Each structure stands twice: as structure tokens, then as C-alpha cells.
């Protein structure tokens, strides 16, 4: 075998292994899965935009558990969800809305979210 072929096979193997590791890491349960699921069940909605740094901060607080939060993308890539954002009268990001009809703008702490939804942190 030529050295260039061996190198190509080695590089391809490394890329496949890195991809598999990355995919597995994203599918691991998050630290706040129960809390995030409770927020969704309690009717909390997180409106944001991928361009919003504060939204990125809020998402990072949840880690992998962000997948359990009812997140609505209102930015240019939101597609059909943009109409949902307009209908909900979202004017700033991040905005959280709650089952009682109230809303709050800005990055909310887990304690604030817990108080609004009666979801306990475990």
C-alpha cells in the first residue's frame, strides 16, 4: 500500500470516530432534563434567536437539557415559527411566556423559572 493511501484511511477513521463521539455526547441525558421537561409540561415557552447572545447564555445554562425546553426560534432561520413569534407579540429576546399568560424578558435564573412554574430543581 502506498503511504498516501494509508494516511487517507487514517484521517477518514479519525473523522468518523470524532463524529461518533460528538453525536454520542449530544444524545447523553442532560443534568437538568427533569427540570426542563417540567417547564415544558407547565406551559413555559422560551422565545429566542440564534443571533441573540443572551439566548445563547440561557441555552448554555441548560446544557444538553435545552432539548427538553419548549424553545421557539424567532430569528431569520425560524421559518414558520416566525409567525408564532409575531402572534405571541415577542419583541425582544430572550422572552419566556408562562401558562398564567405572563411573560418575562431577559435571561432568567433557574430559581425564577422554578417560581413561575412550580417546577423544582433536583
DSSP letters spanning 56-117: HHHHHHHGGGGGGS-EEE-SGGGTTHHHHHHHTT--SSSEEE-TTS-EEESPPPHHHHHHHH
Query: Using omega within 30 degrees of 0 as the cis cutoff, is the peptide bond preceding 68 cis?
Result: no
Specify the range with the lowest mean pLDDT, choosing from 13-17, 36-40, 52-56: 13-17
Number of residues assigned to the chain:
122
**For residue 25, what pLDDT band results from cuts at 50, 70 and 90?**
very low
- Could you report the per-residue pLDDT of 39-89, keeping only the tens digit for each? 999 999 999 999 999 999 999 999 999 999 999 999 887 677 789 999 999
pTM over 0.85: no
Q: Say how far apart CA 43 and CA 63 lie, in whole Å.
A: 20
Amino acid at each position: 500500500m502506498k503511504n498516501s493511501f494509508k494516511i487517507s484511511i487514517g484521517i477518514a477513521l479519525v473523522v468518523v470516530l470524532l463524529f461518533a463521539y460528538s453525536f454520542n455526547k449530544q444524545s447523553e441525558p442532560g443534568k437538568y432534563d427533569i427540570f426542563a421537561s417540567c417547564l415544558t409540561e407547565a406551559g413555559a415557552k422560551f422565545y429566542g434567536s440564534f443571533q441573540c447572545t443572551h439566548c445563547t447564555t440561557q441555552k448554555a445554562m441548560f446544557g444538553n437539557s435545552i432539548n427538553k425546553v419548549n424553545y421557539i426560534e424567532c430569528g431569520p432561520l425560524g421559518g414558520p415559527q416566525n409567525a408564532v413569534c409575531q402572534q405571541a407579540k415577542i419583541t425582544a429576546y430572550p422572552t419566556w411566556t408562562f401558562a398564567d399568560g405572563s411573560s418575562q424578558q431577559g435571561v432568567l435564573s433557574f430559581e425564577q423559572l422554578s417560581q413561575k412554574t412550580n417546577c423544582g430543581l433536583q
